[in-house]
Structure 1
């Protein structure tokens, strides 16, 4: 009998693996609704939905291995990264989903709130926070919305034989800035960005760098409060330090 593996567990969401089945339980049913609706329409490989019975969603495991994990060198080849870039481009070229994403005003408000918290609680040096806040400002520019994954971490794209076999975790899919997806995917793996863009196409490096800073600043408190360590080598705090 297969054992139950805890993939991720915190107060908002729990994901379990039993054999080749992933069971996701989410406190916010809207997240699973978005995930199901997004996977039904995106032009890229996604996990097979086995059943959906709120508040749980059962998915079949996808073949292959993830591009890597945050904090460790990516084992994927340049060709695999290029294939991922091509898949992300297909997603971004797809018709927009009917539901909106976060506005730039909402993102800016959260960013400033999180910067104030990092400084007030002496989590990071004030100069480091302020320098990255300056860099992050480049993300707040006009752009054409695209169908974005919204949480395209390096662990969420699987490849096999340099082909994409599946993209997982679609609960934050929405209309948004396509360069946000590229930035999240290469967070802590800047050396892989040229390989990704070989498949995706040209992209503004300044804006991607801005999203690296913005994502790391905005996510740090949530990570700390949910039992993750953004100060692990190669993770969010190192991303911020690299901007200095």
Structure 2
């Protein structure tokens, strides 16, 4: 009998591991539709789809180990981070998916709502929210859309040495800003940005990267709190915001 391991579980969805199989259970099949379509399109390694029977999607494990986890020091070598940057560039150079992503106006409205909640709920000091809201402004500008992963946290990128062996969790894939993916990949690991940029092979606007770090963190805290995660853990979202002060 294989042990059943709960990888993550909250009100929106759950992921279980049974042996070498991951079972993703999601009540909103539009997210799964996006994941399946995106993995069929992208030119980077992704998990093999074993079967799908809504609301369950069964995926094979990918080889290698994750670049790391937010809030924990990453043991991955600079070459591994550079390889991740190269894989992201390959994704961004691929044809756009046919579905859009959030607009600048939608992102700005969501950011305003989240900042108001952070202050009125007493979750964060007003000066911390205000400063990071100012920093986040630099991300709210026109961009040339590319195929973005949309949730490219370092735990979603698997490597073996200096080779990317798999990128997982494509439910947020869409058209979007290239710098958003790079920012999420390096969130909480600012010292790795040079390695990622070297692999990516293009100049990156550091002000916009920093802006996405602030915007992502401000926008994620309420969701994390409501779903049982701790954005105040060392090295996580609230520390990212404090670094901008």
TM range (shorter): over 0.9
**What are the equivalent positions in structure 2 for 1:167-178 lying under 5 Å apart?**
167-178=167-178
Structure 1, residues 176-228: CA drift from partner, whole Å, max 9, x if none?
01111111111100011101111002111110000000000000000000000
Q: Secondary structure at the match of 2:14?
A: strand
Partner of 1:217: 218
**What are the equivalent positions in structure 2 for 1:50-129 lying under 5 Å apart?**
50-129=50-129
Partner of 1:142: 142
CA drift at 1:153? 0.7
**Contact 2:159/2:165 (8 A) holds in 1:** yes
Unmatched runs of 5 consecutive residues or more in structure 2: none
**Contact 2:104/2:142 (8 A) holds in 1:** no
Return the alpha-carbon distance in structure 2 between the equivalents of residues 177 and 124 of structure 1. Answer: 28
CA drift at 1:2? 1.8
Partner of 1:194: 194
1:207 aligned to 2:208?
A: yes
Q: Secondary structure at the match of 2:179?
A: helix
Structure 1, residues 43-92: CA drift from partner, whole Å, max 9, x if none?
00000000011111000000000000000111100000000000000000
Return the alpha-carbon distance in structure 1 between the equivalents of residues 82 and 2 of structure 2. Answer: 35
Q: Secondary structure at the match of 1:214?
A: helix
Return the alpha-carbon distance in structure 1 between the equivalents of residues 71 and 161 of structure 2. Answer: 24
Dislocated runs of 4+, deviation >6 Å: none
CA drift at 1:162? 1.3
Return the alpha-carbon distance in structure 2 between the equivalents of residues 142 and 125 of structure 1. Answer: 30
Q: Secondary structure at the match of 1:137?
A: helix
Return the alpha-carbon distance in structure 2 between the equivalents of residues 39 and 119 of structure 1. Answer: 38
CA drift at 1:161? 1.9
**Contact 2:67/2:74 (8 A) holds in 1:** yes
Equivalences, count? 244
| TM-score, with structure 1 as normaliser | 0.99
C-alpha RMSD of matched pairs (Å):
0.6
Return the alpha-carbon distance in structure 1 between the equivalents of residues 112 and 224 of structure 2. Answer: 17
CA drift at 1:33? 0.6
Unmatched runs of 5 consecutive residues or more in structure 1: none
